[in-house]
Structure 1
Amino acid sequence: MVSVDTLHTNSLIQTKDNTMAAMAFQAYDPMQERNTMFQSMRDEHGVLLLKSDVQGYAKKMKEKAVKERVRQKRLEKERKEQERLKQMEKESTQVFQPKITTYGVDCYGCGGESGRGGTSLGVALDLNLGVQMPDGSWQPGIKYGKYYIVAADPSIPLCSILKISDHGLSGSGISPDQPYYAIVLDRGGAIQGNHIDLYIGSENSGAIVPVQNTQAKAQIIREGGKSGAKSCAL
């Protein structure tokens, strides 16, 4: 913890002409979130800092303050997303009992035998890189943003978001006693009616497996997205 002092005799420095002058300098003040003119500054042991030392402390304080602002913005974004999902759940009345299977990008006939392919919407999938996001970046793993990827019947529009509970699945962040959220990014010739196919990366990875024999419930909490888009809003 760095403390700021008012001007006193210990904050005077000897100049070249042997006169005494007050030490004053600019440093980043995280409390005011701006550069401030300080007269003196001490470290956590009460030792008066030289200007060069203060500049190092100021840089660290600024970096710490920036990281904290980024963290707070991320937490606020997550909080708003949770509130939005809860509100959509309250408003949605579309519920059905799905049959859930799993598939990989390298499944037979999927065209991704090399470990790279894409969904019906055009979202790229890669066993090494992960899932391509709307901005073109790659997110490691099997999720599109915070959502698991599923293929569903054409009656459920692409980009729809589902809340799936009582599913009996486990793995890759999914727990059988907790619902998970999925986004419809894919179709499939065998995916008809209430059938949902959950993306797990590699076909034989065993990343997500059934551990309980239960009757799943799926709730459509957002129906569809922007028509003609090559990606879905998150």
Structure 2
Amino acid sequence: MKSRRILLFALFTCVFALYGCVSSVSESASQRSLTVNIDKMTLKNVSDNSMLLPIRKDSVQKEDIMRVINGTYNDQPRVRNLGGQLSTKIAMEQVAKDYKKQVREKQKKLEEEKKKAEALKKQKEEEEASTFVGKLTTYGVDCYGCSFSNGRGSTATGIALDMYQGVQQADGSFQPGIKYGNYYVVAADPGIPMYSILKISNHGLSGSGISLDEPFYAIVLDRGGAIYGGHLDLYIGSESSGAVQHVLQTTPKVQIVRSGA
């Protein structure tokens, strides 16, 4: 009887041990299967390469990212970090963080580009509105019909023009040449306020610092009986000085950079 009990106990022990072995083998096989399945996935770098995420369809991945962003993502995706350890939700949270950062940067860039485009459009519209096709002639202090004495005359604004000393400046002194400050002197139509600054291009003139291939800037200091519409008359000192000469017959383009003083 005792020996039968021993036999039954031994048999029970063997069965229990065998069950444990099978359970262990099954668990081990499951782990291996999980590892194999993960290893077969194509992995993608995330953020600073601290993690790797299985690549899925873009629509699914983006949907999951948005769920993480909205705080509704409760799944535990199995991913591996560079150390080979299984990670969980933190990987998707990092993807969501990177995604939000990229979206913010893209939105910021688009807003900057939009503002820049709007500014350029506004600038172009303002330039077009203040630009006209002109006619350009030259005159000297000794021109026919001009009032001058001893080589000196004056503009409609009272600025003295002297063939020998130059142009009177704001402080009363004379600057040699034909400029008022940094600007050439022109007579313009009454529709353009005195002291307006003009940018004149495609002018066909050369001399006294004016170059054919570059625009020059002038200030409206004078009027004239024959000066109206888009007609501008450029002061050159003396009529016979040849300080500025017409080299090409062109159609000048005039932009009002500043209207009035």
TM-score, normalised by the number of residues in structure 1: 0.57
User: Which of 180, 183, 202 is the aligned partner of 1:166?
Assistant: 202
Contact 1:149–1:183 (8 Å) recurs in 2: yes
Q: Residue 249 of structure 2: SS of its match in structure 1?
A: coil
CA distance in 2, matches of 1:113, 1:164: 31
Q: Mapping of 1:20-35 within 5 angstroms?
A: none
Q: Mapping of 1:49-88 within 5 angstroms?
A: none
User: Which of 150, 168, 188 is the aligned partner of 2:186?
Assistant: 150
Contact 1:107–1:113 (8 Å) recurs in 2: no
* Count of residue pairs the alignment pairs up: 137
CA distance in 1, matches of 2:200, 2:149: 29
Deviation at 1:110, TM superposition (A): 0.8
* Structure of higher RCO (CA pairs closer than 8 Å, 6+ residues apart): 1
CA distance in 1, matches of 2:152, 2:171: 19
| Unaligned residue ranges in structure 1 (runs of 5+) | 1-88, 226-234
Contact 1:103–1:200 (8 Å) recurs in 2: yes
For the pair shown, the structure with the greater C-alpha radius of gyration is 2
Contact 1:163–1:219 (8 Å) recurs in 2: yes
Q: Give me the identity figure in percent.
A: 66
RMSD: 1.3
CA distance in 2, matches of 1:95, 1:148: 18
Q: Which has the higher helix share?
A: 2
Contact 1:105–1:113 (8 Å) recurs in 2: no
Deviation at 1:118, TM superposition (A): 0.4
Q: Which has the higher strand share?
A: 1
Deviation at 1:213, TM superposition (A): 2.0
1:2-55 residue CA offsets vs partner (Å, 9 max, x unmatched): xxxxxxxxxxxxxxxxxxxxxxxxxxxxxxxxxxxxxxxxxxxxxxxxxxxxxx
| Unaligned residue ranges in structure 2 (runs of 5+) | 1-122
Q: Is 1:197 equivalent to 2:197 in the alignment?
A: no
CA distance in 2, matches of 1:99, 1:117: 24
Q: Residue 148 of structure 2: SS of its match in structure 1?
A: coil
Q: Mapping of 1:68-217 within 5 angstroms?
A: 92=127, 93-217=129-253
Q: Residue 162 of structure 1: SS of its match in structure 2?
A: strand
